[in-house]
Amino acid sequence: KAGVTQTPRYLIKTRGQQVTLSCSPISGHRSVSWYQQTPGQGLQFLFEYFSETQRNKGNFPGRFSGRQFSNSRSEMNVSTLELGDSALYLCASSPGGETQYFGPGTRLLVL
């Protein structure tokens, strides 16, 4: 099976803009989780979607949002970008239970 894919792989934005990142899970996986990875804060959970519904949520501001489509593909959106949003954004897919498989990530740089 093909692995988790994320697009775009790299992105440069300026403060105040918004950005949409996409994640395609492994075929048959219904759960998609999103994480932010930074050198200072490490890997932090953003949210998880299962069957088009947000099932779990981390402690990020409302500027971070997501959605999942009927084919399990997921998008996350960050509005009003701040310099501190520069990070590697990883999504992970799971059949619905525990084991999560990560995508290659989208590296976002906010200038």
Partner 1 sequence: GENVEQHPSTLSVQEGDSAVIKCTYSDSASNYFPWYKQELGKRPQLIIDIRSNVGEKKDQRIAVTLNKTAKHFSLHITETQPEDSAVYFCAASIGGATNKLIFGTGTLLAVQP
Task: Rule CB under 8 A: say whether 48 interacts with partner 1.
Answer: yes
**Nearer to partner 1 by C-beta: 75 or 79?**
75
Q: At its nearest, how many Å lie between partner 1 and the CB of residue 80?
A: 25
Which residue number, 24 or 100, has a Cβ lying nearer to partner 1? 100
Binder to partner 1 among 64, 72, 81, 103 (CB under 8 A)? 103
Q: How many C-beta atoms lie closer than 10 Å to residue 98's C-beta?
A: 7
Helices (H), the chain: none
Distance CA 68, CA 30 (A): 9
In the structure encoding, which two tokens stand for residue 2, read together? 């093909």
Question: Letter for the amino acid at 101?
Answer: Y
Point out which residues bind partner 1 (CB under 8 A). Answer: 31, 33, 42-45, 48, 50, 55-56, 58, 90, 94, 97-105
